[in-house]
Chains A and B, each alone.
Chain A
């Protein structure tokens, strides 16, 4: 992922796993963890996230109920 922005990574993810988009009513609630630390929630803030080649990225879809 070196040199790729998060937006580019996500575009790749959506294209490989189109079903992901159907479980996200609102990508503003998608949390991104880098090396197990919560960096931000909300795709609109991802521009400010920089990544290195060895970084482990985890995306967490919110779990909500009544």
Chain B
């Protein structure tokens, strides 16, 4: 199978896109599910299928529990934040998401069952930065965290909540963007 690094198009069905947007808006509104990590952060896994150099999104798996503040992840994330994060409104100790390994296992089990593969992860940016008002590209920290993952990083800009944007970058590298084609359900 062709490596995800060779992908040149990503098909995103509109229903899946709406799921991502709804996840982000729900977290921003403070409407949490039982047992869900609180905070204005939406992080999840995107699964789908691959046909040569084309990916098609098929499943959105919103991250429920963030284990970023639990060891052994906390030590790694704190160190990475100290070294690479640009200070923002959100304190470093509250930034970053590590998906509970139980959720990751469930995701891969689902993919095996349904003949899908993990395409990447998504997370949202909500705070405009000076010189980067839209925030629809990976930060340096995003790139560091996605390094050598072999996955796409989907960046969701909800800075303007009425006009959400999604872009995809292989391993969170700005120069490795792949176009996303939104597909309506009738197409």
CA separation between A31 and B98, bound complex, in Å? 13
Contact B68 A66 (CB under 8 A): no
Q: Are A60 and B104 in contact (CB under 8 A)?
A: yes
B97 near A60 with CB under 8 A, answer: no
Name the residue on A nearest B95 (C-beta).
A66
Count A-side interface residues using an 8 Å CB cutoff.
Answer: 19
Neighbour of A63 across the interface among B102, B121, B138, CB < 8 A: B121
Known: A62-B98, A63-B99. A29 touches B104 (CB 8 A): no
Q: Does B101 interact with chain A (Cβ within 8 Å)?
A: yes
Residues of B within 8 A of A (CB): 43, 45, 68, 72-73, 75-77, 85, 95-99, 101-102, 104-105, 108-109, 121, 123, 138-139, 141-142, 145-146, 148-150, 153
Given contacts A42-B72, A63-B121, 12 further A-B contacts (CB under 8 A): A23-B148, A29-B73, A36-B105, A38-B101, A60-B108, A62-B101, A64-B99, A64-B145, A65-B96, A65-B121, A65-B142, A66-B97
CB within 8 Å of B: which residues of A?
A: 22-23, 25-26, 28-29, 31, 33, 36, 38, 41-42, 58, 60, 62-66
